[in-house]
Amino acid sequence: MIKAGIYGATGYTGVELAKILDRHPSVEIVFTTSERSAGQRLGDIEPISGALGKRPLIPADSAPIDDIDVAFLCLPHAAAAKTAVTLLQHNTRVIDLSADFRLKNVDVYEKWYKTTHPAPDLLGEAVYGLTEFARAALPDARLVANPGCYTTTSLLALQPIMAAQAKMRGSIIIDAKSGVSGAGRAAKAATHFVKVSNNLAPYAIGRAHRHLPEIEQVIGWWHDSPPPVIFSPHLLPVPRGILANVYVQLNGGMDETAVRALYETAYADEQFVHVLPAGELATLAHAVYSNNCVISLTMAGDMLIITSATDNLLKGASGQAVQNMNVMFGEKENEGLR
Ligand SMILES: NC(=O)c1ccc[n+]([C@@H]2O[C@H](COP(=O)([O-])OP(=O)(O)OC[C@H]3O[C@@H](n4cnc5c(N)ncnc54)[C@H](OP(=O)(O)O)[C@@H]3O)[C@@H](O)[C@H]2O)c1
């Protein structure tokens, strides 16, 4: 059995992770942490019945670190990196769902996250855990940086066309909508029901959202001269799910048949990335409550429009974290996932 600890188990990603690991046949959850709700049970925070609901919540500093093989950090950035340092000192493998180890350049991190990085020495070692493109590195990884939710949705949309070194003009435009759980559990004015319901609100549009440098970093690994990205996220009045329309202005040389062949070949053997047939468009409903990223392709002249849908809490967070754990520990990649 893989013995796992969940830090930040009361958050949206932590609860989702606890549900997945609870049904995973090769995992034993050893502890679940919370600071503000320590002493309560998981079922006091979320409507969860049975043994999982009875799990005690303990503060992180009393967690039996030496009893686990892997820790999942469902914590805010900075708090996650500090916890990772302690865990690695105890030879515990770490899957971090926060942004702390995603960006390789500490200056970029500190500019976007407006804090001093607690463990910059670990940035080089962290494996960027977009599972489909990290399989070779995961089995030996001590520290995995789980990608962001918008980032996962955008990168899976872009990888085949970027890896093909397609010629492009202008900027890549990512117009994305996310359900409200993407903002975490804490109450904020912008995510109140009254603000969110019956509305569709853009935020941090253009080049202002923290996932922008992450997206640009990774497409730079795939394409020799990637265009700049314009990223426009929106808050959608649904609990979960991300839908992104990704616009890539091709510079000739590739028609719809060639693009479709590229995507179908790239994802032919992937169980969690599905390219829809011509004429079908990806929707939120294709992806929510699953670990799938569902992609559709549209050509408008030379403009390639990739529509990509995920569940932000699953493929965008906890599902992908378990997918990474499965590869790290030699389990079937889809164990516990659907
Ligand atoms: N939501 C998403 O769709 C999503 C997707 C991908 C990645 N992520 C990332 O995953 C992480 C967790 O996100 P989330 O949405 O689950 O957040 P969340 O709902 O706000 O939950 C945060 C968790 O962290 C704990 N916590 C908060 N501040 C802490 C501190 N200073 N020290 C220790 N624990 C603290 C909270 O515990 P208490 O019980 O003590 O309050 C809670 O369990 C974040 O870094 C986020 O950026 C989120």
pLDDT of residue 187: 86
pLDDT of residue 6: 98
Helices (H), the chain: 12-23, 42-45, 50-53, 79-89, 106-113, 149-163, 193-196, 211-222, 256-266, 284-287, 319-328
Q: Which atom of ligand 1 is nearest to the CA of 77?
A: 45
Nearest protein Cα to ligand 1, atom 21: 11
Domain residue ranges of the chain, discontinuous segments joined by +:
2-125, 150-312
Q: Which atom of ligand 1 is nearest to the CA of 9?
A: 43
Rounded to the nearest 5°, which phi and psi values hold at 281?
-110, 140
Percent of the chain with pLDDT over 90: 99
Tokens 């050509």 -> residue: 299
Mutational pocket test of ligand 1: of 73, 74, 82, the residue with most ligand atoms within 8 Å of the beta carbon: 74
Distance (angstroms) between ligand 1 centre and the Cα of 184 equals 6
pTM over 0.95: yes
Cα dist. 264→126, 159, 275 in Å? 30, 12, 6
Distance (angstroms) between ligand 1 centre and the Cα of 108 equals 22
Q: For 61-117, write each residue's pLDDT tens digit.
A: 999 999 999 999 999 999 999 999 999 999 999 999 999 999 999 999 999 999 999
Rounded to the nearest 5°, which phi and psi values hold at 202?
-75, 155
11 lines ligand 1 (CB under 6 A): yes
pLDDT of residue 93: 98
Q: Which atom of ligand 1 is nearest to the CA of 181?
A: 1
As a whole number, the mean pLDDT across the chain is: 97
Rounded to an integer, what distance in angstroms lies between the CA atom of residue 314 and that of residue 79? Answer: 22
Asked whether the CA dihedral 237, 238, 239, 240 is positive or negative, the reply is negative
Tell the CATH topology of 2-125: Rossmann fold (3.40.50)
Tell the CATH topology of 150-312: Dihydrodipicolinate Reductase; domain 2 (3.30.360)
> Strands 27-33, 2-7: parallel, antiparallel or unpaired by DSSP?
parallel
pLDDT of residue 75: 98
In a 13 Å sphere around the CA of 225, the CA atoms on its Cβ side amount to 4
pLDDT of residue 152: 98
Distance (angstroms) between ligand 1 centre and the Cα of 96 equals 11
pLDDT of residue 143: 98
Give which of 110, 111, 94, 183 is closest to 145, Cα–Cα: 94
Residue 253 has pLDDT above 90, yes or no: no
Residues in the chain: 338
Nearest protein Cα to ligand 1, atom 3: 182
Q: For 288-316, write each residue's pLDDT tens digit.
A: 999 999 999 999 999 999 999 999 999 99
Would you please indicate which residues are annotated as catalytic (active-site) residues? 149
Q: For 208-249, write each residue's pLDDT tens digit.
A: 999 999 999 999 999 999 999 999 999 999 999 999 999 999
Residue 335 has pLDDT above 90, yes or no: yes
Residue 252 has pLDDT above 90, yes or no: no
pLDDT of residue 180: 97
